[in-house]
Amino acid sequence: MLSAFANAFRTPDLRKKLLFVLAIVAIFRLGSQIPAPGVNVPNVQQCFQATADSGVYGLINLFSGGALLQLTIFALGVMPYITASIILQLLVVVIPRLEALKKEGQSGQTKITQYTRYLTLALAVLQATGIVALARSRNLLPDCTQPLMYNETVWASVLMVLTMTAGTAIIMWFGELITERGVGNGMSILIFTQVVATFPGALWGVQQSRGPWIFGSVLVIGLVVMAAVVFIEQAQRRIPVQYARRMVGRKMFGGSSTYVPLKVNQAGIIPVIFASSLLYLPAMAVQFNQGSDAPWVRWISTYFVRGDHPLYMIAYFLLIIFFTYFYVAINFNPEEVADNMKKYGGFIPGIRAGKPTEEYLSYVLSRITLPGALYLGLISLIPLVALIVVNANQNFPFGGTSLLIMVGVALDTVKQIESQLQQRNYEGFLR
């Protein structure tokens, strides 16, 4: 990995792209530290240090690199865009018009991207409104009764909402700039940046709370877990496909062999985001009803707020498994793959084309998804177990969404850098 980056910096055009990405990332992190207008920074900092990484917005705070609970201009981070992208992916399966756009190629994808932008801004307005409302009512940060805003009038709140929404639009623009002029997927790199920003603080928190021996043990275990994540993220089942030869005019076509790659983790981190978001809904309801003595408020506060209760862990694990199967079923259509094979003269050796191929693909997919779902569930439980064992916070670095994002984006970016290096430094058979 390091050699790939070193070789990239020796290549002039790749060096310009990498420096451009680093400049955008630097501006992005700077914006994550600038408070929104009207924010009482000393009070926010005091409450944030006392209750960091707790509360119902822990996942969004992770994706904002800690900027959410500090009420900065980039407080929402990339979460509205992620949510909008997931919603559009689900709607493509449900709405025929969107499915037709997806099949149109580049022009259709451009239209879907435009819809994603509009939905991102709408979600940003909703999320910013909820966050500002919690800040005005002093319920954003647990056990914090100090005013988080200098002026709690309606117009001051509207200004904060507009500022955070504009920050989300700028983040989208940054992501598109990186994709067009830089290296890798822009939004993925911005997500990676925000997650890595919380990494040193989370590690230092373990060292301060449990001492150097536990800190060293956490590092060793974390490296082992990271190696396992890299291994599983790269693992795939390759289903061989043979294409029959056919004569078109005087030329012979086909006769080649390839494969259909089915990854063990076919769903990525989407099931973890789905499960986390669903479990945050009851906790959010409690946050808006603080001070109430209703039985349901006490029950949710006991089992579903901190995340260290066995019932919460079991529900989280089962939801991840369910959403893994759900998302894989939406994104991989065995019937469509089998029809495309049959259309172009392809077949799986030993399997007849058509319906038998579809059934075989469904059989393999259902069985390879199970270890992927269990893997996602176990990795996501690591921060919750660490919350009990080493008294870490909910964004414990070596596990859960943060580790999956760091490894996945790093592997994808290195692959793209290596592919561009091969294009520029390709050595032919004859030298």
Determine the pLDDT at residue 165.
Answer: 92
- Within 129-185, strands assigned E span none
Determine the pLDDT at residue 329.
Answer: 85
pLDDT tens track for 334-358: 888 888 888 877 888 888 888 888 8
pLDDT tens track for 229-287: 888 888 888 888 887 766 566 666 556 778 888 888 888 888 887 887 777 777 777 76
Sign, Cα dihedral of 392, 394, 396, 399:
positive
Determine the pLDDT at residue 427.
Answer: 47
Determine the pLDDT at residue 121.
Answer: 93
Q: What angle do CA 109, 364, 335 make, to 5 degrees?
A: 45
Name the residue type at position 130. Answer: G
Q: Are 1-197 and 200-398 in the same CATH fold?
A: yes
3-state SS class at 239: strand
Q: Distance between CA atoms of 18 and 377, rounded to whole angstroms?
A: 34
Question: Taking the model in full, what pTM does it have?
Answer: 0.78
Are residues 344 and 243 in contact, defined by beta-carbon separation less than 8 angstroms?
yes
Q: Distance between CA atoms of 245 and 377, rounded to whole angstroms?
A: 45
Topology of the domain covering 1-197: Preprotein translocase SecY subunit (1.10.3370)
| Token duo for residue 236 | 């795939």
**Per-residue pLDDT for 53 more than 80?**
no
The pLDDT of 410-430, averaged and rounded, is 70
How many Cβ atoms are within 10 Å of 411's Cβ, its own excluded? Answer: 15
Are residues 50 and 143 in contact, defined by beta-carbon separation less than 8 angstroms?
yes
Determine the pLDDT at residue 357.
Answer: 87
Could you tell me what percent of the chain has a pLDDT over 70?
A: 81
Would you place residue 398 in the very low, low, confident or very high pLDDT band (cuts 50, 70, 90)?
low
How many Cβ atoms are within 10 Å of 249's Cβ, its own excluded? Answer: 6
Q: Distance between CA atoms of 53 and 57, rounded to whole angstroms?
A: 8
Q: Distance between CA atoms of 382 and 216, rounded to whole angstroms?
A: 17
CATH ID of 200-398, from 1.20.58.1610, 3.40.50.1360, 1.10.3370.10, 2.60.120.10 = 1.10.3370.10
Q: Distance between CA atoms of 162 and 154, rounded to whole angstroms?
A: 12
Would you place residue 216 in the very low, low, confident or very high pLDDT band (cuts 50, 70, 90)?
confident
- The domain locations on the chain are 1-197, 200-398
3-state SS class at 70: helix
The pLDDT of 417-426, averaged and rounded, is 73
Residue 196 to residues 145, 223, 395: CA-CA distances in angstroms? 30, 15, 11
DSSP line for 342-400: HHTTEE-TTS-TTHHHHHHHHHHHHHHHHHHHHHHHHHHHHHHHHHHHS---TT-SSSH
Q: For the chain, count helices (H), then strands (E).
A: 16, 5
Q: Which of 116-130, 149-163, 283-297 has the lowest mean pLDDT?
A: 283-297
Q: What angle do CA 325, 93, 192 make, to 5 degrees?
A: 65
For 242, phi and psi rounded to 5 degrees? Answer: -110, 135
**Per-residue pLDDT for 50 more than 60?**
no
Determine the pLDDT at residue 431.
Answer: 42
Determine the pLDDT at residue 254.
Answer: 58
pLDDT tens track for 12-47: 888 888 899 999 999 998 888 888 888 877 877 777
Determine the pLDDT at residue 270.
Answer: 81
Determine the pLDDT at residue 162.
Answer: 93
